[in-house]
Each structure stands twice: as C-alpha cells, then as structure tokens.
C-alpha cells in the first residue's frame, strides 16, 4: 500500500482547492480531485465561450469556475493552489495567496511526492522529448511496466493509484515545471543547455537554475546523466551529489558513453560495450546520435545492449520532429514544428546533406538569432518567413553575410498565412528538394502550441496537388 498516497487523499478532502488553467494537463487533475470528493474551483483567463471543449469534458461534475482577465483577483481563501506549468510562480496574486497560508504546488510536484516507482527524469533545451521517448521505449522493450509523463504522455497524478513500486516512470520536465520542483528523481538526464524561454524567465541564469532543480536534491545513491560537450551541463558535475555519467559525441572519455568510429560505445573502467552503429539509427541527425547516447547512459544498467540496438534500428521518431509528411513530385516535406528555438533549427538543418527550402518564423521569445545566420547561408536555398521573428531571422542571415563578406544566393519570401507559406515553398521547389518547417520560434502567435502548428502544416501539405 502507498501510505503517502492514502495520507494525501485523506488530507486533500478537507481542503479548498484552486486549479489554475483549464488545459489539457489540468482537466484530468480536476476530474481526479473531484472523484476524491475535493471542493475544486477551476480558474482560467479565458471566458466561457473559449472553453467549450473543456466544459464538455467536465460536464456534470461539481466544479466551480473563475474566468476572465481578472480571474486571479478572486484567488482567496484557498488551502491548496495547483499552478499550471506555464504560469510564473511569483505572480503577485500567487505570492499573496501563499502569504495568507495557501500551499502552492503543481500536478507534477504532487505526483513526484507520491510516486512509489523509480523515476527517470529528462530535461534540456533541445532533445528532451526524443530522449524521454527513447528511454520509455527501451525500458518497455526490455519488459518493464512503464509510465510516460511530464510534458508528454498522460498527466500522471490521475493515474497514481495504478503505479506500482516495481514500475518505471519516465518524465520529460520543462524549466517551467522544474522551477518549483524540489523532489529528486533516481536518474536525471540533462541533454544540453542553451538560451531558451527568455520571454518567460527573467534571465538566462534563472532558466539554468530551474534546470538544475532536476538534480540539486539527489543523493549519492542516484545518477545524473550530463552532456560533456555542453559547457553549462558539464559544469553541473561540480555541484552534483549523485554519481555523474557523461556522454560525449566529440570527446574521447575514459568512462561514459562516447561516439567513436561511427559507433555509440559505453566505457566503464576499461571495459567497452558497443551499442549501435550510427548508420543503423533510423532517425537522422547528429543531435539524435546524442539523444541515443543520453538514453543509453540512462538505461544501460537496466537493459541488454541488444534492446537499445533494436529501438535504434526500428524507431521512426517523434511526431513534429523532422517528421516526413509526404513526397510529392520528387519533393519531400518535413514537419519539425517542435523547433521553437534557433538551436533546434540549427540541429534540424544539419541533418540534411543538400540545401533545403526552410519555412521559419513565429512568436519572439527573446533569445538571440545570430547563430542561425551561418546555417541558413550554408544549408538553405530558399527562406520562407512568417510571423514576428521573420525580420530577426532575415537580419541574422544578412549580418552573417556582411560580417564574413561571402557570396550567397538566397531567395527570401515573406508570407502572412500558413497556406501562402506552403504554396510559396512548393512553387520554389524542384524534384529532389526538401522543404522543412523548422520555425526557430514559438507557435503562440498563430497557434495553440507547436502540435497545432505542425498539424496545420501537415494538413496543408497533404492538400497539395502535383505540379503539372
């Protein structure tokens, strides 16, 4: 019996609970709390007309609502407040509520407090979704009963009654989730760190400090997987109490997971285990080699090397991550809508041998675009731009050209709609070309999230008819 869970259920029943945000992750939370007999008020800045889908899912349940622009002003007399991940924890209304005695928490924080199973937690600026998925697939293939959650999968607090001590829980955790998390996971993975989400975080240091929460309370019985090639993540080893295991694609480490002679190899006290040849990995790109290295470091103590190899040679990749949508008239369309930062777009462009037609642009989140200029010059034959960051991306390219004084023929097209984006890109393509949506920006200017953006792109691509 999970005694912590039983205590939580007994305690929460007597509390007045606020759930902030009626989104995908919080609807299962609201249902779970209601089923426990909790008095729940759901808060959202949207008005009821914009929440019809949420209301339909909660229909018939005794939920109270607080909606509209001033919804947080009514956040009084609550015992427990569940914060949605994208909301800052230090908003004045939340600080006031905590000062009055409320407990501020989140679905993920409560789950980690109650979870009886071993937890594998993954964070990073890039690659965390793929790495998390790989760990889940590898452990599942080996025969473990696994749960996938955090930023992906199912909101797990609503499933906590079914999680057993013998299970494995694999979580993708964002900086927004980690900024208030103090629970440690048994195995933590940090894929890399680069400037990101600076439209929400007050500084790069705050962003880095949030990521560090994934390991800061680990013990010497735990394990921390770090990218040796990233200067920020490598430095975390000096602060960690857990056993550090590094992976490196470009350095020859004596211990850890390395990439040598085109193969991923595990080194441990003079012994070497060959995991997989990079040419056999089904999903393309050097960044995916790094993702497999991180997943290997996290799982090698629990699985046979052949299990990792099997996943590497059969896994087609995660949706919206260099996802092949279709081939039309010898032209391939790729959806990489997840690429919401310049570093992700740089990684995506690096996977292609020939120059591509790049679709980019979206909402600005306050991060530098200068590093993208060189890759556009080297890897792009036509640049199709949309959104608030269109001019910043074009400036990054122009600045690189002016600084290096190189010649580069690049057609740049600005569009107002995604239908126009897809049509213009297709008009510029010839057989053998690749068109890739890799926005280097967030989706929130025009879409609910990157999945919505990617699905719209795929729908438009699939409507195209071959050129005569």
Residue 222 belongs to a domain with what CATH number?
3.40.1190.10
Instruction: Say yes or no: 277 and 424 in one domain.
Output: no
Nearest partner of 281 among 322, 311, 249, judged by Cα = 311
Alpha-carbon distance of 170 to 33, in angstroms, equals 23
DSSP 434-451: EEEE--SSBSTTTSSSHH
Which residue stretches of the chain have pLDDT < 50?
none
Q: Same structural domain for residues 254 and 345?
A: no
- 120 with 83, same domain? no
Hey, what are 420's tokens? 């126009």
Domain containing 44 — which CATH number?
3.40.50.720
Q: Which pLDDT belongs to residue 152? A: 86
Question: In terms of domains, do 250 and 137 share one?
Answer: yes
7 occurs within a structural domain: no
Distance CA 442, CA 335 (A): 14
pTM of the predicted structure, to 2 decimals: 0.79
Please compute, for residue 249, the number of CA atoms within 13 A of its CA located in the half-sphere on the CB side.
16
Cα 360 from Cα 343, distance rounded (Å): 13
Same domain, 299 and 393: no
Q: Is residue 82 part of a domain?
A: yes
| One domain for residues 291 and 419 | no
User: Is there a domain that residue 413 lies in?
Assistant: yes
Q: End-to-end distance of the chain based on CA atoms, in angstroms?
A: 67
- Beta strands 223-227 and 187-190 are parallel
The total domain count for the chain is: 3
In a domain, 351, yes or no: yes
Per-residue buried b or exposed e for 300-336, using 16+ beta carbons within 10 Å of the residue's own CB: bebbebebbbbbbeebebbebbbbebeebeebbbbbb
Q: Which secondary-structure segment (H or E) carries 397? A: helix 390-404
Give Cα separations from 26 to 43, 107, 192, 406 (angstroms). Answer: 11, 8, 28, 51
Same domain, 24 and 162: no
3-class state of residue 164 by DSSP: coil
Q: What is the pLDDT of residue 162?
A: 96
> Which residue bears the tokens 């071959």?
466
Token pair 């049509």 in the structure block, residue: 423
Q: How far is CA 165 from CA 100, 250, 307, 343, in A?
A: 37, 38, 23, 38
* Three-class secondary structure of residue 354 per DSSP: coil
Question: Whose structure tokens read 């996938």?
Answer: 148
273 within a domain of the structure (yes/no): yes
Q: Are residues 114 and 133 in the same domain?
A: yes
Predicted local confidence at residue 1, as pLDDT: 65
Same domain, 211 and 350: no
State whether 262 and 142 are in the same domain: yes
87 and 117 co-located in one domain: no
Counting Cβ atoms within 10 Å, is residue 279 exposed (0-12), middle (13-18) or buried (19+)?
Answer: exposed
Is 468 contained in some domain? no
Which 3 state secondary structure label does DSSP give 45?
Answer: coil
Contact 328, 150 (CB under 8 A): no
Alpha carbon distance 305, 299 (integer Å)? 9
The boundaries of the domain holding residue 344 are 323-462
pLDDT at 182: 85
3-state secondary structure of 415: coil
How far apart are the C-alpha atoms of 309 and 408, rounded to whole Å? 41
Our CA dihedral for 366, 368, 373, 375, rounded to 10 degrees, sits at -100
Of 289, 314, 339, the one marking the end of a domain is: 314
């Amino acid at each position: 019996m999970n005694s912590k869970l039983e205590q939580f259920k007994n305690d929460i029943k007597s509390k007045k609970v606020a759930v902030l945000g009626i989104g995908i992750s919080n609807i299962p939370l609201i249902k779970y709390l209601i089923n426990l007999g909790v008095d729940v008020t759901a808060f959202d800045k949207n008005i009821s007309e914009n929440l019809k889908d949420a209301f339909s899912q909660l229909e018939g349940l005794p939920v109270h609502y607080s909606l509209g622009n001033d919804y947080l002003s009514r956040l009084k007399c609550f015992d427990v407040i569940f914060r949605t991940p994208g909301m800052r924890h230090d908003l004045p209304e939340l600080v006031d509520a905590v000062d009055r005695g409320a407990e501020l928490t989140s679905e993920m924080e409560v789950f980690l407090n109650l979870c009886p199973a071993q937890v594998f937690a993954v964070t990073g600026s890039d690659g965390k979704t793929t790495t998390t998925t790989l760990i889940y697939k590898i452990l599942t293939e080996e025969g473990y009963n696994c749960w996938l959650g955090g930023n992906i999968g199912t909101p797990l607090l609503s499933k906590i009654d079914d999680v057993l001590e013998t299970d494995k829980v694999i979580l993708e955790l964002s900086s927004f989730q980690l900024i208030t998390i103090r629970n440690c996971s048994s195995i933590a993975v940090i894929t890399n760190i680069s400037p990101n989400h600076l439209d929400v975080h007050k500084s790069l240091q705050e962003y880095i400090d949030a990521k560090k929460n994934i390991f800061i309370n680990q013990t010497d019985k735990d394990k921390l997987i770090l990218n040796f090639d990233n200067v920020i993540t490598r430095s975390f080893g000096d602060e960690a109490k857990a056993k550090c295991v590094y992976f490196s694609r470009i350095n020859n480490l004596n211990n850890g997971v390395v990439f040598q002679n085109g193969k991923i190899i595990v080194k441990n006290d003079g012994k070497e285990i060959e995991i997989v040849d990079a040419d056999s990995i089904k999903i393309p790109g050097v960044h995916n080699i790094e993702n497999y290295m991180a997943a290997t470091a996290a799982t090698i103590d629990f699985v046979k090397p052949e299990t990792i190899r099997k996943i590497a040679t059969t896994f087609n990749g995660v949706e919206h991550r260099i996802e092949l949508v279709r081939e039309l008239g010898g032209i391939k369309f790729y959806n990489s809508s997840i690429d919401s930062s310049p570093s992700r777009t740089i990684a995506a462009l690096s996977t292609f041998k020939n120059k591509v037609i790049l679709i980019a642009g979206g909402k600005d989140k306050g991060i530098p675009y200068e590093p993208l200029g060189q890759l556009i010059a080297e890897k792009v034959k036509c640049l199709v731009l949309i959104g608030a960051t269109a001019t910043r991306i074009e400036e990054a390219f122009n600045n690189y050209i002016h600084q290096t004084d190189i010649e580069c023929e690049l057609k740049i097209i600005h569009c107002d709609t995604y239908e126009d984006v897809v049509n213009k890109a297709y008009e510029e393509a010839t057989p053998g070309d690749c068109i890739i949506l890799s926005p280097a920006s967030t989706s929130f200017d025009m879409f609910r999230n990157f999945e919505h953006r990617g699905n719209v792109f795929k729908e438009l691509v699939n409507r195209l008819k071959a050129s005569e």
